[in-house]
RNA sequence: GCUCGGAUGGUGGAACUGGUAGACACGCAGGACUUAAAAUCCUGUGCCCUCAACAGGCGUGCGGGUUCGAUUCCCGCUCCGAGUACCA
């Protein structure tokens, strides 16, 4: 029988499903291996050919690991809460649960026909109440926890309450809001329970607080920093503005240092680690207090609310070079610092910055602007009077929202000083040309710097840090750029936050009340009063309080712990059993896109560390090894329509090579009717009926299309659907072709042109087991040396390739192996059996079929063939010998010779002698026992 | 601006620790089989000079360097892609 891929694939997909072939058992005598894919958001468009790339790679790896004797967990599920389903619901009134269900069905059908070895019995969906019950439960644990800096871990809130009762909050070292007011144990005992709640909220790991948020008016919701790109929402590309709102946040900043340190312990691509490091943005420096100059006659508009300004700097050593202080325009002290004389200036400036959108402010980094407050501070190191300015190059959100201006050492300060005529003081003898630009060097000795004169950089930093601390005006400090993550979304299609309000304060619902089920509503828009959609839910009232929290959780909540749910997805009493977590531990291999670097991959590490602190999980890091598959871009094809003088399209289309001779416009053409850039004219006339009687100007009788790389999208007619390719070539061909396309981690445009080659290979492979009449034909002869050599070459190659995720090179090697065995007319059972096993991770269907024809069962549990290097040994080898690096000749020599014998034969060779011109070689270079070069 | 990644034939790509660059595949050209087509098989295919062969020259973005020998290592640049952006 010819290679009937359709029948074969259908047969084995059914077999795998019925026999639950890939069901992973928790506990086994085999070692565990956990291979995870980033689960998809089931969008309405279904899978295109780029989506399965990572899944195919992880599937090959999983199947390979099974052959290697591991107990493999390879699950799949859906990240099924999210914006698109809700946007669709707003437009159509269709409940998001219904569209999501339909999309999942499409995804499942598409995934199934590729023949993945997923254990579907463990499937999860983040929008299932049985799943989000535990997302809500984790939220409750976070709410009930605080971060103790002394033990450097999260602890139950009860240990904090105990400290408050016995010692107040003065000695508590915690990550908390900046505005905690000190209180004594005696105060605590007099606090009402509501006052206690208010205090505790400042310490909880999820907290409700008035904060500046990214508000997206078009989506009607707030967004986390990683969901905003260049001032626009990541989903939909709508403008985002800053707004103050009461919002739920997660205190991820508590974990900043551990998230940073942990990166050194995991095997991830360096670029992703680097992105997370940048995102966390650790800077080591010092905070310094500049006390405000006393004003004898108050000329201030408002009373002072503090008597010092705190700045953060990474260069305390430059403190003697300070010639001004700059506050962010939003800084809370600005009002109370401004003198009557400067009031107008300051008001104008603040009004001006407010008008500038966040985008303008980012785009315009050249213009220097600012305003003087009229007030001064005293520099603690030399008691000099320093003016206080405001300027929008200082950000309220970073550090203390105030900087010390050192024009000689910082370019922005230099520009500011030059623009406003402030002094520029040289502080290091190593600084050059500071009249032209700032010089941030750390080289040289300090000058004009009082008591640190003549010190070098390192001594100056450490001396000053001690000095500041001793004088009580500052101390060494580490700052992180990473903000706490905004957690509430004013949307419907997400996990309800398990919180109710009483007298304006948030309280957790009872654990027994979980899951807090998403209520039904009639419309998916905000209420008339501007509340989130959940405000429309009638009769949705908590038993103890006045109302539920109306925000839902962000998209990343459900995906921040899902790998644990797969370990024990049906568990009703915990998110996963202790036993399952102890057995599966962590993800050994995680494959997914790099777009999640500062979102999902950071939040997951955060939640994992938190769950570890509370003792629910055992590993500090969730994903031991990470691989990023490259993005598959679209590859668009174009036809060129001739246009007339006025630029109107005519009824003529010119082939790519001749288009320069005419005035043309390029039109997208469906890539599915173009093969090797040759347009199928008949199909084109169906695709574009208006060109039915168009004139085609051909070259060599063909219409050649133009090519461009663009994003894959329907509107560009460059979407290639895997269903179509599976229909024409089968899943095994698709799997191997996706791997053949290039290195897994590299982004590349999709190009179907080469798929024929892979298809031909599978047919040759099939033919290897059959005779000319397509009758199955293998024999029990003794394998020849050549056959064994071809076999063991591929056994080793695939093993090496899979271990280093170089799947594309193995596909080529399979082709070579099959060609060799075909040439050898190999029909040997022993050799062919091993070949089937080696190929099975890549092309599982055809291999299962052949395995059955070979009278075997249970291919997925067959051991991977053992490589025997003895079969690769050659009696003779040919290698090039050169003289002085110039290629001279090839010699055939026996492998058994040692270096001395090789040397003797090479030197005795007449041709070599001729090249040497009678001289003795100065040096003889051996590589792996062979002479490659003679140096004269 | 900063950080990271990349550049190899007509195309996708290979070359794993410096050792015959271009494996494998696509495409193209020619041939076999066939009434014909499809399918299959065979041959050739980096560029230049040459009718062709032999032989030779040039070749891994550009310019240098280290080395007997560099796609691979080092220095300087160009271009492309990604991330990030007044972070003090």
Looking across all nucleic acid strands, the nucleotide with the smallest C1' to CA distance from residue A753 is B26
List C-alpha distances in Å: A132 to A419, A470, A500, A672, A805: 56, 52, 17, 41, 34
Residue with minimal CA–C1' distance to B23 is A812
> From the CA of A880, how many Å to the C1' of B51?
33
Q: What is the arithmetic mean of pLDDT over A282-303?
A: 77
User: What is the distance between the alpha carbons of residues A901 and A903, in angstroms, rounded to a whole number?
Assistant: 5
Query: Is the pLDDT score of A1 beyond 90?
Result: no
User: Quick check: A884 and A934 in contact, CB under 8 A?
Assistant: yes
Instruction: Output the distance from A710 CA to B79 C1' rounded to whole Å.
Output: 19
Task: Kindly report the backbone phi and psi dihedral angles of residue A718, in degrees, each rounded to the nearest multiple of 5, phi listed first.
Answer: -115, 15
- Rounded to whole angstroms, the distance from the CA of residue A264 to the C1' of nucleotide B25 is 39
Share of residues in chain A with pLDDT > 70 (%): 96
State the nearest residue by CA to the C1' of B20.
A880
Establish whether the linkage from the previous residue to A482 is cis, with ω within 30° of 0: no
- Can you tell me the distance from the alpha carbon of A592 to that of A914, in angstroms, rounded to the nearest whole number? 60
What integer pLDDT is reported at residue A33 of this predicted model?
97
3-state secondary structure of A187: helix
| Shortest CA to C1' contact from A808: nucleotide | B13
Lowest mean pLDDT among A79-83, A442-446, A509-513: A442-446
Nearest residue by alpha-carbon distance to C1' of B15: A809
| Separation between the CA of A48 and the C1’ of B15 (whole angstroms) | 32
DSSP character string of A120-169: GGG--BTTSHHHHHHHHHHHHHHHTEEEETTTTEEEEHHHHHHHHHHH-S
Q: Which nucleotide is nearest to A922 (CA to C1')?
A: B68
CB-based contact A826:A782 (threshold 8 Å): no
Tokens standing for residue A903: 């040397």
Round to a whole number and report the distance in Å from the CA of A774 to the C1' of B37.
Answer: 23
Q: Which residues pair with A78 in a beta bridge?
A: A125
The CA–C1' separation of A544 and B33, in angstroms, is 87
Average pLDDT over residues A543-552: 91
Provide the token pair at A14. Answer: 């059914």
Of A210, A261, A172, the residue nearest A478 (C-alpha): A261
Nucleotide closest in space to A818 (CA vs C1'): B24
* Residue closest to sugar C1' of B27 by CA: A676
Count of CB atoms within 10 A of residue A892's CB? 8
ipTM above 0.85, yes or no: yes
* Protein residue nearest nucleotide B84, by CA to C1': A278
Q: What mean pLDDT do residues A796-809 have?
A: 93
R_g of chain A computed on alpha carbons = 35
A592-632 confidence digits (pLDDT tens): 988 898 899 999 999 999 999 999 999 999 999 999 998 88
Q: Helix, strand, coil proportions of chain A in percent (round to 5)?
A: 40, 20, 40
- DSSP assignment of A757-802, as one string? HHHHHHHHHHHHTB-TT--B--B-PPPPHHHHHHHHHHHHHHHHHH
As a residue count, chain A comes to 936
Of chain A, the percentage scoring pLDDT greater than 90 comes to 56
Q: Which residue is nearest to nucleotide B3 (CA to C1')?
A: A274
* pLDDT of the residue at A701: 75
Structure tokens at A507: 């309280």
* Nucleotide whose C1' lies closest to the alpha carbon of residue A747: B81
Residue nearest to nucleotide B81 (CA to C1'): A747
User: So what's the pLDDT on residue A494?
Assistant: 95
pLDDT score of A364 more than 70: no
Nearest nucleotide (C1') to alpha carbon of A812: B24
DSSP codes joined into one string, A420-460: HT------BTT---TTTS------S-B-S-GGGTT--HHHH
Looking at the DSSP assignment, which residues form a beta bridge with residue A489? A552
Going by pLDDT thresholds of 50, 70 and 90, the confidence category of residue A221 is confident
> Strand pairing of A385-390 and A324-327?
parallel
Q: How far is the CA of A887 from the C1' of B46 (A)?
A: 19
Q: CA–C1' span, A664 to B13, in Å?
A: 33
Which amino acid residue lies closest to nucleotide B25, measuring CA to C1'?
A: A757
Nucleotide at minimal C1' distance from the A879 CA: B20
Which of A389, A392, A391 has the alpha carbon at shortest distance from A360? A392
Query: B15 C1' – A929 CA distance, angstroms?
Result: 21
A27 close to A583: Cβ distance less than 8 angstroms: yes
- CA distances for A294 relative to A309, A339, A346, A411, angstroms: 13, 13, 20, 31
**Shortest CA to C1' contact from A361: nucleotide:** B86
CB A841 within 8 A of CB A802: yes
The whole-chain average pLDDT of chain A stands at: 89
Write out which nucleotides of chain B lie closer than 7 A to a protein Cβ.
3-5, 11-16, 19-21, 23-29, 40-41, 68-70, 81-88
Q: Is a pLDDT exceeding 70 seen at residue A357?
A: no
A272-CA/B28-C1' distance, Å: 42
Neighbours of A548 (CB within 10 A): 21
- The tokens of A482 are what? 């990473």
Statement: residue A910 has pLDDT above 80? no
Digit-coded pLDDT (tens) for A877-886: 666 777 777 6
pLDDT of A16 higher than 90: yes
Output the six-digit token pair for A55.
Answer: 């899944």
Closest CA to A88 of A74, A76, A78, A98: A98
pLDDT of residue A298 exceeding 70, the answer is: no
CA of A882 to C1' of B74 (A): 26
Å: A549 CA to B43 C1'? 76
Q: Calculate the angstrom distance between C1' of B75 and CA of A69.
A: 49
3-state secondary structure A695-709: EEECECCECECEEEE
| Nearest to A329, CA basis, from A353, A348, A311 | A353
State the nucleotide closest to A707 in CA–C1' terms.
B11
Residue A146 bridge partners (DSSP): A155, A204
Query: Backbone phi, then psi, for A895, in 5-degree steps?
Result: -70, -25
**Closest nucleotide relative to residue A758's CA, C1' based:** B25
Cα–Cα distance measured from residue A40 to residue A48, given in angstroms and rounded to the nearest whole number: 12
| β-bridge partners, A204 | A146
Residue A44 corresponds to which tokens in the numbers above? 């309405």
With distances taken from each CA to the C1' atom of nucleotide B83, the closest residue turns out to be A275
Task: Give the span between the Cα atoms of A412 and A310, in whole angstroms.
Answer: 19
CA of A33 to C1' of B22 (A): 38
Predicted confidence (pLDDT) per residue in A75-85, tens digit: 999 999 988 89
Residue with more model confidence, A891 or A424: A424
Name the one residue in this structure whose structure tokens are 């058992």.
Answer: A25
Answer whether residue A151 shows pLDDT above 90: yes
Q: What is the mean pLDDT of residues A330-345?
A: 88
**Strands, E assignment, A481-532:** 485-486, 499-502, 505-508
pLDDT beyond 80 at A875: no
Whole-number Å distance between alpha carbons of A439 and A794: 59
């Amino acid at each position: 029988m010819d290679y009937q891929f359709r029948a074969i694939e259908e047969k084995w997909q059914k077999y795998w499903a019925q026999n639950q072939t890939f069901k992973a058992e928790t506990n086994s005598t085999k070692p565990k291996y956990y291979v995870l894919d980033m689960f998809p958001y089931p969008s309405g468009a279904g899978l295109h050919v780029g989506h399965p790339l990572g899944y195919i790679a992880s599937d090959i790896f999983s199947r390979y690991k099974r052959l290697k004797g591991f107990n493999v967990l390879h699950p799949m599920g859906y990240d099924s809460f999210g914006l698109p389903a809700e946007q669709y619901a707003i437009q159509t009134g269709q409940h998001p649960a219904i569209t999501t269900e339909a999309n999942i069905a499409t995804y499942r059908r598409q995934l199934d026909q590729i023949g993945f070895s997923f254990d579907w019995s463990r499937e999860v969906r983040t929008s299932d109440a049985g799943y989000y019950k535990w997302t809500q439960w984790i939220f409750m644990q976070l709410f009930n926890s605080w971060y103790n800096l002394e033990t450097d871990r999260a602890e139950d809130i009860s240990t904090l309450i105990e400290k408050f009762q016995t010692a107040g909050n003065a000695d508590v070292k915690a990550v908390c809001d900046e505005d905690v007011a000190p209180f004594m144990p005696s105060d605590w005992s007099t606090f009402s329970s509501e006052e206690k709640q208010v205090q505790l909220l400042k310490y909880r790991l999820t907290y409700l607080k008035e904060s500046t948020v990214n508000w997206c008016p078009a989506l009607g919701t707030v967004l986390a920093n990683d969901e905003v790109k260049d001032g626009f929402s990541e989903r939909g590309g709508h403008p985002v503005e800053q707004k103050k709102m009461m919002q739920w946040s997660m205190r991820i900043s508590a974990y900043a240092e551990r998230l940073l340190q942990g990166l050194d312990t995991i095997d991830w691509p360096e670029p992703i680690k680097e992105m997370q490091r940048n995102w966390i943005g650790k800077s080591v420096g010092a905070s310094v207090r500049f006390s405000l100059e006393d004003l004898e006659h108050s000329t201030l508009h408002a009373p002072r609310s503090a008597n010092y300004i705190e700045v953060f700097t990474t260069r305390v050593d430059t403190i003697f070079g300070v010639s001004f202080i700059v506050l962010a325009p939003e800084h809370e002290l600005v009002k109370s610092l401004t003198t009557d004389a400067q009031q107008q200036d300051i008001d104008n400036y603040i009004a001006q910055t407010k008008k500038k959108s966040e985008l303008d402010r980012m785009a315009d980094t050249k213009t220097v602007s600012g305003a003087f407050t009229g007030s001064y501070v005293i520099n603690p190191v030399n008691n000099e009077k320093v003016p206080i300015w405001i300027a929008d190059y200082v950000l309220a959100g970073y550090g203390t929202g105030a900087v010390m201006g050192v024009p000689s050492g910082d370019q922005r300060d230099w520009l500011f000083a030059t623009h406003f005529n402030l002094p520029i003081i040289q502080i290091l003898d190593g600084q050059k040309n500071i009249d032209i630009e700032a010089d941030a060097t750390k080289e040289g000795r300090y000058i004009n710097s009082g008591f640190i004169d003549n010190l070098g950089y390192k001594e100056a930093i450490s001396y000053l840090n001690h000095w500041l601390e001793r004088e009580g005006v500052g101390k060494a400090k580490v700052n992180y750029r990473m903000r706490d993550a905004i957690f509430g979304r004013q949307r419907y299609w997400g996990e309800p936050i398990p919180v109710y309000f009483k007298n304006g304060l948030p309280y957790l619902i009872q654990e027994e009340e979980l899951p807090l089920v998403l209520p039904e509503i009639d419309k998916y828009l905000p209420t008339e009063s501007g509340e989130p959609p959940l405000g429309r839910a009638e009769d949705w009232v908590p038993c103890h309080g006045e109302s539920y929290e109306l925000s839902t959780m962000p998209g990343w909540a459900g995906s921040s712990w899902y790998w644990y749910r797969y370990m024990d997805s049906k568990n009703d009493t915990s998110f996963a059993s202790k036993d399952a977590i102890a057995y599966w531990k962590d993800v050994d291999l995680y494959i997914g896109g790099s777009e999640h670097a500062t979102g999902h991959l950071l939040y997951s590490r955060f939640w994992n560390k938190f769950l570890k602190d509370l003792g629910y999980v055992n590993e500090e890091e969730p994903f031991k090894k990470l691989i990023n598959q490259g993005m598959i871009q679209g590859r668009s094809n174009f036809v060129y329509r001739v246009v007339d003088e006025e630029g109107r399209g005519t009824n003529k289309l010119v082939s790519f090579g001749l288009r320069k001779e005419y005035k043309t416009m390029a039109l997208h053409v469906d890539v599915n009717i173009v093969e090797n850039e040759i347009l199928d004219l008949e199909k084109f006339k169906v695709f574009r009926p208006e060109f039915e009687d168009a004139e085609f100007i051909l070259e060599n009788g063909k219409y050649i299309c133009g090519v461009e790389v663009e994003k894959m999208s329907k509107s560009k007619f460059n979407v290639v659907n895997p269903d179509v390719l599976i229909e024409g070539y089968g899943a095994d061909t698709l799997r191997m072709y996706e791997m053949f396309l290039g290195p897994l981690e590299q982004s590349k445009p999709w190009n179907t042109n080469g798929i024929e080659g892979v298809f031909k290979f599978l047919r040759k492979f099939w033919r290897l087991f059959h005779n000319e009449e397509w009758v199955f034909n293998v024999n029990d002869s003794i394998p020849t040396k050549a056959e064994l050599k071809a076999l063991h070459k591929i056994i080793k190659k695939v093993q090496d390739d899979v271990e280093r995720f170089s799947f594309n090179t193995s596909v080529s090697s399979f082709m070579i192996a099959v060609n060799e065995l075909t040439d050898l007319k190999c029909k040997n059972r022993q050799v062919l059996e091993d070949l089937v096993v080696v190929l099975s991770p890549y092309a599982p269907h055809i291999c299962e079929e052949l395995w059955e024809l070979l009278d075997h069962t249970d291919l997925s549990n067959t051991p991977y063939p053992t490589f025997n290097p003895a079969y690769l040994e050659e009696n003779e080898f040919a290698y090039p010998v050169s003289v002085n690096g110039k290629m001279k000749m090839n010699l055939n020599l026996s492998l058994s010779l040692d270096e001395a014998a090789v040397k003797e034969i090479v030197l005795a060779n007449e041709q070599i002698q001729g090249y040497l011109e009678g001289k003795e070689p100065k040096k003889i270079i051996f590589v792996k026992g062979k002479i490659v070069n003679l140096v004269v």
